[in-house]
Amino acid sequence: MSSNGTAQQADHAEPLESTIFVAYGALLVMAILPIFVGSRASVKFPKKTGKGKKKGGVDEDDDGSEFFRLEDAYWFPIIGSATLLGLYLLFTYLDKDYINFLLTGYFGLLGVGALAKSILDFSRFLTGWEIKGDYSLQMWKRDKEILSYRFSIFHLVVLGSSIALTAHYVISKQWLLSNLYGEAFSASAIALLNLDSFWTGIILLSGLFIYDIFWVFFTPVMVTVAKGLDVPIKVVWPRDVIALVEKNGIWGLIGNVEKASFAMLGLGDIVIPGLFIALCLRFDYHNFLASKKGKASSSQKTWSFPKPYFTACLISYILGLITTVTVMHTFQAAQPALLYLSPACILSALGTAFVRGEVKALFAYTEGEDVDEAGKSKKGTSEATTESGEKSQPALSEATAAVAPRAPSQKPTAASGKMLSDILEPKKPERPVSPPNVEKTNGAVKRPAASAPKAKSKQEEAPVPAGSPDVGDRELAQWLSKSGAKLSGKA
């Protein structure tokens, strides 16, 4: 199918039962693998405490995940329908070779990054190593960091391999490489695009449930687009791989084989349920951190925590996919996979929550409410927290900021007010105090003559010791002290 559906090509004779089940088994494995890898990569561990590291937040390898919100879930089926219909019209009235040429270049550029990230994630999964970078690349625009990337020699080798494989795929369109990119796109999407709540996941799966049924059963649009697109938006496997090898030798697997019949599974049938399954895994980890055992090991990376929601949802996904393939094989017709996968995922999560008595906690769980780069929370509140977990102080007035400028060597952090707390010791004033009438002339601070003479105290009549601040600076310091700020140095 296309991005949301399972289909089989019926232009060739039906292969033997044993070989077609090999194809179905291969599709099942290719569906589970990116979900498992992407779900693990979507879990963000707390930062470790220790020398040079801050407590709180997420691990330093956090790559800036995007959150899929409720309004996105409402619009997604509509935008998806418009895109699908647009592709169908392009294939109907234009030469599909030109369309595939443009889309191949586009997916080739995306594929380099997706494949490199997936290789790194899979390497971490196999070895258990963090594979951090020994070198750092940073780009700043004024005081704002716009790029920060850590890499090592291994990262460069992976990037070079990804570029070489992409070039080979663009030239050959080899089906195994197409599957490799499809797996990479799926795993990267599941890792980087996070559902912000179970409500969002349920609305998304329900909307695409209707979307899939309509475009597969009531129109030829999705099947036409799926067969016409020659880009990695699906995973495929030869329906008779044994005959393919017997006829073409090993070239049948690694070469560009034409006129072969393939069973296929759209990436949408992997990614959309995969986002929900990944959310279940993060909810399991959230529950673990809230437990007594989790609080004791919250500063350590561990996968040894109970995963009831993830396990139940993944097993339900596998059963739903098996049901899809069984119906497709029985009726020899394309099936909307989300017709079976959406209810399987939703009911498994709700059923697990009901059995465990956590239905309220399930729907109350949300993500993506942390502080953004501007120091404001995602909900739009103006309070921010420093890396130590304390609330940041409000910005200084122009007069105070002019007296206590930030050292030019310091860099701002994501939490606003961090450097101000290093300079000032603010406290809430009992009442507002007006600033003294102080002005500067040619760098010298002077105070205008008072309108009426006042009796001076002995302290004021005493001579000013050498090297001490002049009268203007001393009065300004007294005013800053009453206003709740402390002068850090002479203006």
Q: Which residues are catalytic?
A: 212, 269
Strand partners, 354: none
d(CA 135, CA 255): 38
Q: How many CB atoms lie within 10 A of CB 346?
A: 20
First to last CA, the chain: 70
Which 3 state secondary structure label does DSSP give 490? coil
DSSP 10: -
DSSP 291: S
CA 269 to chain centre: 19
Place of tokens 């693998």: 33
DSSP 405: P
d(CA 228, CA 466): 88
Place of tokens 């939490």: 415
CA 173 to chain centre: 29
Q: Where are the beta strands (DSSP E) in 106-166?
A: 135-141, 144-151
d(CA 461, CA 140): 53
Residues 408-443, buried b or exposed e (16+ Cβ, 10 A)? eeeebbbbbbbebbebbebeeeeeeeeeeebeeeee
Residues comprising the chain, all counted: 491
Question: Hey, what are 231's tokens?
Answer: 């880009």
Which of 363, 361, 334 is closest to 346 using CA atoms?
363
User: DSSP for 369-435?
Assistant: -SB-TTS-BTT--S--B-TTSPBPPPPPPHHHHHHSPPPTT----SSTTHHHHHH------SS--PP
Cα dihedral 224, 257, 31, 177 sign: negative
Which of 343, 270, 358 is closest to 309 using CA atoms?
358
DSSP 389: S
d(CA 23, CA 18): 9
d(CA 75, CA 138): 36
Q: Where are the beta strands (DSSP E) in 276-321?
A: none
CB 78 within 8 A of CB 211: no
d(CA 228, CA 202): 31
Q: For Cα atoms 388, 389, 392, give the angle at the middle one, nearest 5 degrees.
A: 95
